Amino acid sequence: MVLHLVPRWSMWLFWATPGWRKTAGALGASVKQRLMNYPWGSYSPWVCRSYSSASRSPEVMLTYERYPVQRLPFSKVSEEDMATFQRIIPGRVITDPEELEACNVDWLKTVRGNGVGVGIQRNLAVNPQGGNTGMVGGSVPVFDEVILSTALMNQVISFHNVSGILVCQAGCVLEELSHYVQEHDFIMPLDLGAKGSCHIGGNVATNAGGLRFLRYGSLRGTVLGLEVVLADGTILNCLTSLRKDNTGYDLKQLFIGSEGTLGVITAVSILCPPRPKAVNVAFLGCPGFAEVLQTFTTCKAMLSEVLSAFEFMDAECMQLVRQHLHLASPVQESPFYVLIETSGSSAEHDAEKLGSFLEQVLGSGLVTDGTMATDQKKIQMLWALRERITEALSHDGYVFKYDISLPVERLYDLVTDLRTRLGSSAKHVVGYGHLGDGNLHLNVTAEAFSEALLGILEPYVYTWTAEQRGSVSAEHGVGFKKRHVLGYSKPPVAVQLMQQLKALLDPKGILNPYKTLPAQA
Amino acid sequence: MVLHLVPRWSMWLFWATPGWRKTAGALGASVKQRLMNYPWGSYSPWVCRSYSSASRSPEVMLTYERYPVQRLPFSKVSEEDMATFQRIIPGRVITDPEELEACNVDWLKTVRGNGVGVGIQRNLAVNPQGGNTGMVGGSVPVFDEVILSTALMNQVISFHNVSGILVCQAGCVLEELSHYVQEHDFIMPLDLGAKGSCHIGGNVATNAGGLRFLRYGSLRGTVLGLEVVLADGTILNCLTSLRKDNTGYDLKQLFIGSEGTLGVITAVSILCPPRPKAVNVAFLGCPGFAEVLQTFTTCKAMLSEVLSAFEFMDAECMQLVRQHLHLASPVQESPFYVLIETSGSSAEHDAEKLGSFLEQVLGSGLVTDGTMATDQKKIQMLWALRERITEALSHDGYVFKYDISLPVERLYDLVTDLRTRLGSSAKHVVGYGHLGDGNLHLNVTAEAFSEALLGILEPYVYTWTAEQRGSVSAEHGVGFKKRHVLGYSKPPVAVQLMQQLKALLDPKGILNPYKTLPAQA
């Protein structure tokens, strides 16, 4: 069952405006279209029926069958609960199994919940859900948690076209927001592959990183305010639009990156940078990882304030993108590829800086081949090679995904190390990611999920990372899948304090249970 | 009494290395000099004797005499406690009244504590202290809290000269750190007037803003890790050096800006930006505040990625700087002055951008006179006009200080409004600050502190700010002086959650009591 938060509520789930339909057009036709596909006004019986596999293949195992996890003693949704929900948010309770499928299965098809029935007083567990584009099973129920969707909360509340401060509801789709602020000559401070589906509320709840992190930094700096519904239904209004505010503890930080386990983010105030007048992208081939690193150092020194992205991918990534998506490399075959983006206020100055840089790296042999783009279409084509790697991987079979922070010098060693360790038991071992942020996306593909392969990968990958004092989750978060590996990156004192914060903010543990924190002994 | 945390301890106050003296040279001769002025190895009896006013004038009233505040039932330091302290940190307990004076009185001389004797088990209250340069009485005791100074924890732990990540102890002086990283071609991400005395630990504990905020953003983004001692003496080690780490809740954020009320910051990991190759400063005269705002909008569009500061000051500020510090204005007398700084990687490109901008603003009459500097000496001279306003104000008499965030369009209205309201009851009402961040420093001077004047100013200034949904403390924090005005910027739900966090992390309330949060009913 899915409960949609309504755009104008004054208490959590207990108040609804009759005029909710009007909000659908707020962000343009495509959002409207998306929303109108829901069968508002009628809904099926409350029981989530058996899984219909007709439209989906391969079938995804239920999470609690695949992973060792026990249902906690939450209540189950009763017919009385259903009647209550129907009364308070008529037409916005979804129980149809076909429809529920999209909410129960994450897009990677690796975890699948069995969502049913809401209510704090009733001790019902709640699973807040945005665009359901997470990588770690944080946005789908594990058992029968009620899914609380933010999809209808898709309104821009205000935009200040001098300061660039955007205030909007949590369910706004990132790409729609991008288009919206671009019309006012600003850009969103974050960009990621899932932009077409992910919600800004989910981005903030997971502290999403992405492609502009190098230039505009973390959401912890760019998010200025939040409105959050706490576990007891209280609304915490910290939705201010001030760049500086040192009045007491910065409570919004608690909710950024806490994956809906401490509260449900319902609105966001965020600082948007001015839209750069000139954007250039260079796509380069490098003969080795040492050269990739030296190219990065040179790049930081020579492109400095106009550098907005430094991404890398290895030859196997390019091979998969070619094989599964029929995209061709724009440069000679190389062991490594680098994508560099500049954004600035003067096309002439930026081109001059980029030109000097390319002359330097080509002349010194750090780069063996390269291409450059200034027009939007070619820029998008080059970015697609990097952004669509995840998609290419999902066509390659079951994907074991790791998202690691490491000292940049050791970043690729883990990939080569794993290739040796895995030999022919994996189809592909690939490395790519946000080199400028020390963030490696390490992916291993196989024909199917295999316990044996998992045993070779884990805890090896985590131990290796911990030895380098890295992070076992750089930007994807913890969700359901990584909650037992927190200890590789955080000391026991820290994990204990996290448990205490959870107990303080959500004493009944009803908010996104089985997520973020390890199960307590 | 002052307890110095020792540079290499494994438990809070309960372990000390005999080699602590060696650390004094870590940040160069000036720090060493400063430290050697303390009479290590001997100390006076534990009682804080009567205040010696010989070297200081005017005498500062005791905080609890000036403000309505009641001592909480903490223990008092016993002779047994003193013996314990002496045993565990020999030679590092200060009780000499003359020496204590600098620790008990804040540099504004507006609050004065009566610090005496430490120990968690003994229910003794603790006042963590860095450089004691705060504006809100957060760094000095109110009654007899034990001052815990970080002055001896002044070592750089590591610096990575590719990533620019600095890890250092909390007691490092900001300016010393600036010099240190500049030698490696980096700069600190923050800069403020008090840099010569303030400690990085104090900067983080108060979430200091300052002059580089516009370009490099908040410490919430640039601080990568912290080591914190919790109220029960447990060490929370989150001292990682990763740009991205989404493993669980970001605990360090709790301590950034919490003014030592939730834990004592003992070490900091911080990301330093590359040192810009070219720095330019322009100092301009504007005919009105509307023109200041338009100059800012033009500046953001034309200088964009190279803009690193946009500061403003009014004619009365310039008058005070001239009168008390004998600094002359480099431009024609104007109602407003603007200081613009650019930092970039190409001197030629930056000069070209700045040149076009100046041509535009002079041509359109937004600016009536201006001067520009590229050499270090003249740059410092121009910056001094802005940075030394606080100093000039302190020569003008008693200063009522407000540090407000407002929508930029309304920023100066509060100043003109107050001038009318105060008439001749104030010496000066001045406005200056970080316009680029929407941050106004509003200061009112008078011959002496006056309850009557205070009554005209407060709560008027706070109500005015709340009506604009501004912040009653943009960057100075809450400390002792602002704790009862939190409610003007934060709703009751937020203040209540802050109290709950305080109770969770410091159940006995011994960490910096009477600070940050309003006294509970």
Count interface pairs A-B at CB distance under 8 A: 254
Supply the ipTM of this predicted assembly.
0.88
> What confidence tens digit (pLDDT) does each residue in A344-357 have?
999 999 999 999 99
Q: Which of B244, B407, B491 sits opposite A209 (nearest CB)?
A: B244
CATH class belonging to A396-489: alpha beta
Q: Specify the pLDDT at position B5.
A: 53
Q: Which of B218, B353, B470 sits opposite A346 (nearest CB)?
A: B353
- Cα distance from B465 to chain A (closest Cα, Å)? 12
In this structure, which topology does domain A156-271 adopt according to CATH? 3.30.465
When scoring A184, A243, A482 by the number of chain B Cβ atoms within 10 A, the one with the most, hence best to mutate, is: A243
Contact B486 A207 (CB under 8 A): no
Contact A408 B489 (CB under 8 A): no
Contact B349 A345 (CB under 8 A): no
Nearest Cα neighbor of B189 from B199, B177, B197 is B177
Contact A162 B408 (CB under 8 A): yes
> What confidence tens digit (pLDDT) does each residue in A425-462 have?
999 999 999 998 999 999 999 999 999 999 999 999 99
Helix or strand run (H / E) with residue A205: helix A200-205
Contact B486 A247 (CB under 8 A): yes
pLDDT band at A371 (very low <50, low <70, confident <90, very high): very high
Q: Specify the pLDDT at position A119.
A: 52
Q: Specify the pLDDT at position A107.
A: 56
Helix or strand run (H / E) with residue A98: helix A97-104
Q: Which of B345, B478, B491 sits opposite A305 (nearest CB)?
A: B345
| Cα–Cα dist B509/B262, whole Å | 9
Q: Which residue has the higher pLDDT, A82 or B421?
A: B421
DSSP-derived secondary structure letter, A512 = S
Contact A242 B438 (CB under 8 A): yes
- Cα distance from A231 to chain B (closest Cα, Å)? 13
Q: What rounded mean pLDDT belongs to chain A?
A: 86
Contact A346 B346 (CB under 8 A): no
Contact A253 B258 (CB under 8 A): no
Q: Which of B217, B305, B477 sits opposite A217 (nearest CB)?
A: B217
Contact A469 B257 (CB under 8 A): no
In chain B, residues with a C-beta closer than 8 Å to the C-beta of A256 are: 250
Backbone angles phi, psi at A294, to 5 degrees: -65, -35
- Cα distance from B489 to chain A (closest Cα, Å)? 7
Q: Specify the pLDDT at position A14.
A: 25
Long-range contacts of A68-75 (CB under 8 A, 24+ apart): A69/A142, A69/A480, A69/A514, A69/A519, A70/A519, A71/A142, A71/A143, A71/A144, A72/A125, A72/A509, A72/A513, A72/A514, A74/A123, A74/A124, A74/A125, A74/A145, A74/A510, A74/A513, A75/A122, A75/A123, A75/A124
When scoring B163, B192, B214, B245 by the number of chain A Cβ atoms within 10 A, the one with the most, hence best to mutate, is: B245
| Cα–Cα dist B87/B85, whole Å | 5
- Cα distance from A179 to chain B (closest Cα, Å)? 20
Which residue in chain A has the smallest CA separation from B221? Answer: A221
Please, what are the averages of pLDDT over each run of 10 residues along chain B (521 residues)?
Answer: 48 27 31 30 24 44 83 88 81 78 65 43 88 91 90 94 94 98 97 94 96 93 96 94 96 98 97 95 98 96 95 98 97 98 96 97 97 95 96 96 95 97 96 94 96 96 97 96 96 98 96 94 61
| Cα–Cα dist A138/B248, whole Å | 12
> What confidence tens digit (pLDDT) does each residue in A107-150 have?
554 444 443 334 556 788 999 999 999 989 999 999 988 888 89
Q: Specify the pLDDT at position A22.
A: 29
In this structure, which topology does domain B278-389 adopt according to CATH? Alpha-Beta Plaits (3.30.70)
Q: Where are the domains of chain A?
A: 156-271, 278-389, 396-489
Domains A156-271 and A396-489 share a fold: no
Contact A274 B353 (CB under 8 A): no
Q: Locate tokens 């999209």: which residue? A: A102
pLDDT at residue A414 greater than cutoff 90: yes
In this structure, which topology does domain B2-149 adopt according to CATH? 3.30.43
Q: Specify the pLDDT at position A36.
A: 30
For CA atoms A172, A173, A175, A179, give the dihedral sign. negative
Contact B353 A349 (CB under 8 A): yes
In chain A, residues with a C-beta closer than 8 Å to the C-beta of B162 are: 297, 408-409
Q: Which of B274, B409, B470 sits opposite A242 (nearest CB)?
A: B470
Q: Which of B217, B249, B471 sits opposite A501 (nearest CB)?
A: B249
Q: Locate tokens 């003008």: which residue? A: B396
Which residue in chain A has the smallest CA separation from B185? Answer: A301
Q: Which of A217, A248, A409 sits opposite B516 (nearest CB)?
A: A248
Q: Which of B236, B473, B517 sits opposite A494 (nearest CB)?
A: B236
pLDDT band at A101 (very low <50, low <70, confident <90, very high): confident
In this structure, which topology does domain B396-475 adopt according to CATH? Alpha-Beta Plaits (3.30.70)
Q: How much is the average pLDDT of A166-188?
A: 97
> What confidence tens digit (pLDDT) does each residue in A237-294 have?
999 999 999 999 999 999 999 999 999 999 999 999 999 999 999 999 999 999 999 9
| Cα–Cα dist B468/B204, whole Å | 28
| Cα–Cα dist B126/B508, whole Å | 11
pLDDT band at A2 (very low <50, low <70, confident <90, very high): low
What angle do the packed helices B492-505 and A492-505 form, to 10 degrees?
A: 140
Which residue in chain B has the smallest CA separation from A343? Answer: B305
Alpha helices (H) along A227-330: 252-255, 289-303, 315-325
Contact B251 A504 (CB under 8 A): no
- Cα distance from A412 to chain B (closest Cα, Å)? 16
Contact A244 B437 (CB under 8 A): yes
End-to-end CA distance of chain A: 30
Q: Specify the pLDDT at position B108.
A: 54
In chain A, residues with a C-beta closer than 8 Å to the C-beta of B474 are: 242, 244-246
Q: Which of A309-323, A392-406, B53-67 has the lowest mean pLDDT?
A: B53-67
| Cα–Cα dist B225/B241, whole Å | 6
When scoring A184, A190, A218, A249 by the number of chain B Cβ atoms within 10 A, the one with the most, hence best to mutate, is: A249
Which residue in chain B has the smallest CA separation from A469? Answer: B240
Contact B469 A257 (CB under 8 A): no
Q: Specify the pLDDT at position B33.
A: 32
